[in-house]
């Protein structure tokens, strides 16, 4: 099978989408040829020879007033020009590309697959769902439209790069939270939890890895810094900024606990990576309950409840005999979410056209 992949970025240095180069590498092992259309092309030295990348040009930034129209026209031109070089389509996270190309692909008889993991449901997603033949998501909470086209296939993380022995807990405990700095991440709850732990006599530090993406997020970042000062934990909260995906994979090994405060929705990749790296994970996303299994009652806390977060952290850390066992079990549980397991599950829906 020859596949067209459409994604936002092909760039190992992209702090959010750097991981997707690994997905392309895995896809390339299972198909004859891949054409990739991306909004932005960066570094990707490790791509196989059966992969060809075409950028819509965001790295060169056309004038702002014409940007979206330019990208849309280039996309349509590429989708048409390359039509004899692919049999099927896989669109990653951006339903607008299915909206733009769906009618053409239907007329040309191309099988259309859409990957989508997000709480949001808008008109673009509804239209894309109409055109798509198959829709893939990581968990039932990651796709909120009811459709018979949906396949819940888990996530795809680099469990090999994250493999490391489980180390003893540090003193003070080292907490990490990975993701964009934005209000929906509820990072203020983590700062308040660190302050409560301080009051309980439990010494912790928290590192926030991620950067704002919009001006409103910059305002939120400043409010977090102010909150840390008000709570008396400014010396315990580190704002590390954005990092390359490869750097983040290395950083996990320096921490004991990963806290993710996003509301219930799709499975956040940062939590899965933390599990693979041998960290304890505490989440307010109840979508993780199934994956966490018997540990869910000790690791899932109510959204925006700093007191519950601090209480759970304190309770489990004091049960030091259980910590290593739980961390080891979490590492085993997340192996089903490896990228090498995910891609064949996705491609099984394309079997009829191979």
Question: Do both 343 and 289 map to the same domain?
Answer: no
Question: Do both 17 and 144 map to the same domain?
Answer: yes
DSSP string, 129-180: HHH-SEEEESSGGG--S--TTEEE----B-HHHH--PPPPPPSSEEEEEES-
Question: Do both 118 and 194 map to the same domain?
Answer: no
Which helix (DSSP H) or strand (DSSP E) does residue 320 occupy? Answer: helix 320-333
Domain that holds residue 124: 2-156+338-353
Question: Do both 40 and 130 map to the same domain?
Answer: yes
pLDDT for residue 3: 98
Residue 250 belongs to domain with CATH number: 3.40.50.2000
pLDDT for residue 322: 84
pLDDT for residue 320: 63
Question: Do both 289 and 329 map to the same domain?
Answer: yes
Task: Say which residues have a Cβ less than 8 Å from residue 344's Cβ, sequence separation at least 6.
Answer: 30
Question: Do both 178 and 318 map to the same domain?
Answer: yes
- Helices 123-131 and 95-108, interaxial angle, to 10°? 20
For each successive 10 residues of the chain (354 residues), what is the average pLDDT? 97 90 97 97 90 92 73 96 98 97 97 93 96 95 93 94 88 95 97 97 96 94 98 97 92 96 89 96 94 95 96 82 89 93 96 70
**Helix, strand or coil for residue 62?**
coil
- Helices 95-108 and 67-81, interaxial angle, to 10°? 30
d(CA 53, CA 349): 24
Positive/negative CA dihedral, 194, 291, 350, 27: positive
Question: Do both 120 and 248 map to the same domain?
Answer: no
pTM, 2 dp? 0.88
d(CA 88, CA 101): 12
Contact between residue 212 and residue 181 where contact means Cβ atoms under 8 Å apart: yes
Question: Do both 111 and 59 map to the same domain?
Answer: yes
pLDDT for residue 164: 85
Q: How many helices (H) and strands (E) does the chain have?
A: 14, 12
Contact between residue 275 and residue 292 where contact means Cβ atoms under 8 Å apart: no
Cα-based distances in Å from 108 to 4, 86, 104, 340: 13, 11, 6, 30
Question: Do both 147 and 205 map to the same domain?
Answer: no
Question: Do both 20 and 169 map to the same domain?
Answer: no
């Amino acid at each position: 099978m020859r596949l067209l992949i459409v994604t936002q970025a092909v760039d190992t240095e992209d702090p959010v989408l750097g991981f997707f180069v690994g997905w392309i590498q895995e896809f390339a092992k299972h198909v004859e040829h891949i054409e990739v259309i991306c909004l932005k092309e960066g570094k990707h030295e490790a791509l196989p020879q059966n992969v060809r990348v075409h950028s819509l040009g965001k790295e060169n930034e056309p004038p702002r007033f014409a940007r979206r129209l330019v990208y849309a026209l280039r996309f349509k031109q590429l989708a048409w020009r390359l039509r004899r070089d692919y049999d099927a389509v896989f669109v990653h996270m951006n339903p607008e590309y299915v909206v733009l190309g769906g009618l053409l692909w239907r007329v040309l008889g191309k099988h259309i697959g859409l990957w989508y993991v997000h709480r949001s449901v808008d008109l673009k997603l509804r239209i894309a769902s109409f055109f798509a033949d198959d829709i893939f998501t990581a968990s039932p909470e990651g796709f909120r439209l009811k459709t018979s086209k949906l396949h819940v296939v888990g996530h795809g993380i680099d469990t090999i790069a994250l493999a490391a022995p489980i180390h003893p807990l540090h003193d003070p405990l080292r907490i990490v939270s990975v993701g964009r700095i934005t209000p929906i991440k509820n990072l203020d709850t983590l700062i308040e939890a660190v302050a409560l732990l301080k009051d309980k006599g439990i010494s912790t530090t928290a590192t926030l890895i991620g950067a704002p993406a919009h001006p409103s997020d910059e305002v939120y970042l400043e409010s977090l810094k102010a909150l840390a000062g008000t709570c008396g934990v400014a010396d315990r909260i580190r704002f590390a900024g954005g990092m390359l995906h490869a750097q983040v994979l290395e950083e996990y090994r320096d921490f004991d606990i990963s806290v993710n405060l996003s509301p219930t929705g799709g499975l956040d990749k940062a939590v899965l990576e933390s599990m693979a790296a041998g960290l304890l994970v505490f989440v307010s996303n109840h979508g993780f309950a199934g994956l966490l299994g018997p540990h869910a009652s000790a690791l899932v806390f109510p959204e925006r409840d700093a007191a519950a977060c601090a209480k759970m952290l304190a309770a489990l850390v004091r049960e030091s005999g259980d910590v290593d066992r739980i961390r080891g079990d979490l590492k085993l549980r997340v192996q089903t979410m490896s990228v090498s397991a995910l891609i064949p599950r996705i491609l099984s829906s394309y079997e009829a056209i191979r």
